[in-house]
Chains A and B, each alone.
Chain A
Amino acid sequence: MAKLANIGDFEKLMETVKAGRESSARSVTVCCGTGCVASGAHDVIAKFQEELKTRKIDAEISSKATGCHGFCERGPLVVVFPDRIFYQRVSAEDVPEIVDETLVKDKVIERLLYSDPVSDEKITHEPDVQFYKRQQRIIFGSNGMIDPTDMDDYIGLDGYAALAKVLSDHSSDDVLDVIERSGLRGRGGAGFPTSRKWRITGAQEATPKYVICNADEGDPGAFQDRSLCEGNPHSILEGMAIGAYAIGASEAYIYVRAEYPLACKHLEIAINQAEDRGLLGDNILGTNFSLKIHIKKGAGAFVCGEESALIASIEGKPGEPIPRPPYPAEKGLWGRPTNINNVKTWASVPYIINRGADWFAGIGTEKSKGTMIFSLVGKVNNTGLVEVPMGMTLKELVEEIGGGIPGGKKLKAVQTGGPSGGCIPSELMTIPIDYEELAKVGSMMGSGGCVVMDEDTCMVDVARYFLSFTVAESCGKCTPCREGNGRLLDILVRICGGDGKEGDIELLKELAGAITDGSLCALGKTAPNPVLTTIEYFRDEYEAHIKDKCCPAKVCKSLITYSIVADNCTGCLACLKACPAGAVSGEKKQVHVIDQAKCTKCGACYEVCKFEAVSVE
């Protein structure tokens, strides 16, 4: 691939690429994000290629493996262009039919369409699906149209135009002004204004300066960074290049989790392609600006998402945070000024440059601009990645995009911000998504995890779960975090085990305050948040565990018993066979009995019973 010598060359290339991609051409895309691949998308795309080839129509109709579309719940997803006919849960066996009917004869196959869980209506076109309809997909929008390993796909959608624009007529101050006017704030969780961070780093006298992309997405239940790295790696590289230009850095790192092998692979391919084309590396597009981007793989430590721990880890040290200030903007990697931003922040930058600061600032609320990508997961019908404008309410997010709670259950809470965030109760679902509003109710934006919980979720158990996570992930440097969180967990385990004592709630709160005050980094400071918010909004559940020794959600094993409802039992032997402890006895067509002494409360009987004859109390 020839290197582009100047900006004129790039513009010519873009024209050629765009001309070669008629928008009316028929093509089929298969989502090959991790979710769909896990459901068998690789077989589907292989089958498409094989079928098109045997019918000798592979020249007219192209097939493409794209990045994540977001609607992982219904994967593998297939979209037929140009009409965007949307097929879901497609298997390799369905492929010949899709080729014959839809691609050749232009007929829609009813049974593969998505049916709306509320109206039961079959939806033919992708944009009409309720899940997509209410979203505003900017950063994430191109994912479904791009083969992440093909750079021309990105260029065909105005990729690298923003970098070319910046290099042709923007000074670094111009770039900083645009970003400032756009109101972009850090998408990693804390929401620090991006332009201010860039300015501080840019103003430092020490050189060299570094730029880092934080792709160490550790929050359980969040996978949007992964999807972006996998699905549209060039947008991240372009954003980093623009940022590095504004700051005056010529070396950059992407710190990505080793647990995301596909993301690492796609980023590596993208960097190589961009360097081959002269869009990264020395003298980008013939200008004086050079940027070398390295990939560093994290080795599985949640705390490395914290910036000073991340930097330590790049330097080959254990990922332990250090006190700030000095902030990385002053003394970061190798003691030099360093600017760290999250994947989504970097990926937003090219769009802001291309479409203008005013356009971006026009989306969202007064203080939170643009869109936010959430991974909407847990007890919700439409699990997946959603990109919505700031200011949308949680209710809209869960009910309209998420399609409500499965099985007609009631919404209990939404947990945002990962293990550092809080649980927002159903009464507060009308608050808008906004950095400040979420903080007001004790939670946070975080990196965009959004876990929906229904009435079957025990909030004390959830608090215990998050604590066990932070206890395991604490690096152990600060005593309040290492020991204090361990004690919080001990108390929660005791409460869940039915040994809660009067005064435990007060003790939890007091301890939580000390941990928040005494810890160095955000991991320790925010670790008690899930405990504090669940106590605030679900105090009755704590009290039920402590005083009445019962678990209202029927989750905590020590506080529940399984028994057979004699009236409903048909004596089908299903639970008897399922019980791993041999605690169920009975004859065929006779009412069964559970031996409480043997019962391990695994719930197997409850799950297999088709007659509602097993009850939990």
Chain B
Amino acid sequence: MKRIGVFVCHCGHNIGATVNVTEILKELSRYPGVVHCKDYKYMCSEPGQKLIKDSIAGEELEGVVVACCTPSLHEETFRRIADSAGINRYLLEIANIREQCSWVHTDPEKATSKAATLIKTIVEKTKLNDSLEPMRIPVKTKALVIGGGVAGLQASLDIANSGYEVVLVEQNPSIGGHMAQLSETFPTLDCSQCILTPRMVEVGQHDNIDLRTYSEVEEISGYAGNFKVKIRGKPRSVDLEKCTGCGDCWNLCPVMNKPEIRVMQSVSDSMDPDMRSNLDAVIDRNGCAREDIIGILQGVTDEYNWLPRDAICYVAERLEIPVSYVYRIASFFTQFSLEPRGKHIIKVCLGTACFVRGAPRILSQIQSDLGIAPGETTEDGLFTLETVNCLGACALGPLMVVDEDYHGRLKFTRVMSALDSYK
């Protein structure tokens, strides 16, 4: 087995304050394959580096794990140490216990145990590492961009303007994509043509861009730096040199082979047919105008206890209003829930009258017994806990309503037995 050395950095308080380094050393020194364990305040400092270098030589280490910050900071630093200590630099690995552990956790016990696991994982990796030698291979500095929408156009231009060749492949006869179908853009209401057309022209004219419209990528092989791509140009039977793009041939062609304008897919195609007929009934009952939206969403809530995503999209479709508008209404009013709710809804009244009569204590009792906060649902899906501002039954306070049943003049000692009957 490889002789592995583990070096744990405190990074001052960055790691040391959360992760118990002494504990880590104790645990790792017992780990199979680990023959040497050391910690240091700042492993990246001169003395820290020296510590690693000396240990590699003195302990005849065949693999090194440095537990410290992210590899993007000091991997190179430590691999240079490996070079100078005479072992292959790829036999040194970093275990990130700062960004991925100490900085993001507060519980020292759990953080320590996580750090130990991270280090052990890297120790196992290091055991499998081979000595590697860097080599040079030629690379083609040429890019492929797939899709001639506005993003593809901009990407092609950025790369081409940096001096590299670009091949831009677009499956339709024309570039422009969805943006060519829009009138204005959010949020500035700029005219979309004004943004798009200059880029389309620039791509067409650019010396570094090889534009392949009406073409599709068929095959990609090779590896980073040396990809091979097969592009199939679809037959146009048109002399591109002479074509002006006037479109007369499309209109005259008896076989309607026009480019397809894709429309957004309707949710009604994919949704549950029962839900669809339920929603149709709710909408027909309430009316189909924008002003009827609140009544419709109340109807959907009556049906499902919450507002499923499909239902929201379908309502938007039927009312011919944006989905975002339905969400705006659904998230404004407290009656609507975007999360599934439990079989039984517990509403605890926190109106002033109930408040002065001890409602907060009733609420905290339910919270601690069911283990859910207001707005949450128990894991078994039985109860959803909600608070309301006033149920208008102030004489009965403190009060909770489960589904339709009023439980008035509540004592916190009786709350849970009242809920038992719903289990």
Contact = CB atoms under 8 A, between A and B. Distances in A.
Interface of A: 34-35, 37-39, 72-73, 75, 217-223, 226-227, 258-260, 296-302, 313-319, 375, 377-379, 383-384, 415, 418, 449, 451, 453, 457, 462, 465-466, 469, 473, 475, 578, 580, 602-604, 607-608
Contact of B413 (A226, A319, A578): A578
B278 to A, nearest CB: 19
B357 A378 contact: yes
29 contacts: A34-B392, A39-B396, A72-B396, A220-B351, A220-B389, A223-B390, A226-B392, A259-B388, A260-B392, A296-B294, A296-B295, A297-B294, A298-B294, A299-B297, A299-B334, A300-B333, A301-B332, A314-B291, A316-B290, A375-B353, A377-B397, A378-B352, A379-B357, A466-B352, A473-B389, A475-B332, A607-B412, A607-B413, A608-B413
Given A314-B291, A316-B329, A299 B336 contact: yes
A223 B390 CA distance: 9
Contacts of B389: 218, 220, 302, 469, 473
A378 B356 contact: yes
B352 A415 contact: yes
Interface in B288-317: 289-295, 297-298
Contacts of B408: 38-39
A195 B406 CA distance: 40
B352 A449 contact: yes
A475 B396 CA distance: 30
A223 B393 contact: yes
Contacts of A258: 298, 335
B391 to A, nearest CB: 7
> What 6 A-B pairs come out closest when comparing CB atoms?
A72-B395, A38-B406, A223-B392, A220-B351, A299-B333, A377-B353
B372 interface: no
Nearest to B391: A259
A39 B413 CA distance: 19
A37 to B, nearest CB: 7
B295 A377 contact: no
Contacts of B388: 259
B214 interface: no
B328 interface: yes
Contacts of A220: 350-353, 355, 389-390
Nearest to B301: A299
Interface in B367-423: 368, 388-397, 399, 406, 408, 411-413
Given A221-B351, A316-B290, A377-B353, 14 more contacts: A34-B393, A73-B395, A218-B390, A297-B295, A298-B333, A301-B334, A302-B389, A377-B352, A379-B357, A384-B395, A473-B389, A475-B332, A580-B368, A604-B413
Contacts of B29: none
B388 to A, nearest CB: 7
B113 interface: no
B55 interface: no
A35 B335 contact: no
A72 B365 contact: no
B49 interface: no
B26 to A, nearest CB: 31
A99 B394 CA distance: 31
Contacts of B352: 220-221, 377-378, 415, 418, 449, 451, 465-466
Contacts of B412: 602, 604, 607
Best-surrounded residue of B352, B357, B406 (most CB of chain A within 10 A):
B352
B117 interface: no
B30 interface: no
Contacts of A379: 356-357
B361 interface: yes
B154 interface: no
B364 interface: yes
A62 to B, nearest CB: 27
Residue in B291, B293, B353, B399 with the greatest tally of chain A CB atoms within 10 Å: B353
Contact of A221 (B293, B298, B394, B406): B394
Contacts of B357: 378-379
Contacts of B397: 377
A223 B406 CA distance: 16
Contacts of A260: 392
Interface string B331-369: 011111000000000000011110111000100110010
Instruction: Tell which of B290, B334, B335, B393 has the most Cβ of chain A within 10 Å.
Output: B393
A218 B291 CA distance: 22
Nearest to A223: B392
B353 A603 contact: no
A204 to B, nearest CB: 22
Contacts of A222: 390, 392
Contacts of B351: 220-221
A297 B298 contact: yes
A38 B393 contact: yes
A553 to B, nearest CB: 11
A316 B298 CA distance: 12
A221 B396 contact: no
A602 B364 contact: yes
A334 B408 CA distance: 42
Interface centre among B298, B396, B397, B408, by most chain A C-beta atoms within 10 angstroms, is B396
B301 to A, nearest CB: 9
A316 B392 contact: no
B297 to A, nearest CB: 7
A318 B356 CA distance: 32
A258 B290 CA distance: 19
Contacts of A297: 294-295, 298
Nearest to A75: B395
Contacts of A38: 393, 396, 399, 406, 408
A506 B47 CA distance: 56
Contacts of A39: 396, 406, 408
Interface in B234-277: none
A298 B334 CA distance: 10
B334 to A, nearest CB: 4
A57 to B, nearest CB: 32
Which residue, B295, B357, B392, B394, has most C-beta atoms of chain A within 10 A? B392
Contact of B332 (A259, A319, A378, A603): A319
A608 B411 CA distance: 10
Nearest to B406: A38
Contacts of B290: 315-316
Given A222-B390, A300-B334, A35 B413 contact: no
B366 to A, nearest CB: 12
Given A39-B408, A316-B291, A316-B292, A383 B334 contact: no
A315 B413 contact: no
A35 B388 CA distance: 17
A220 B406 CA distance: 17
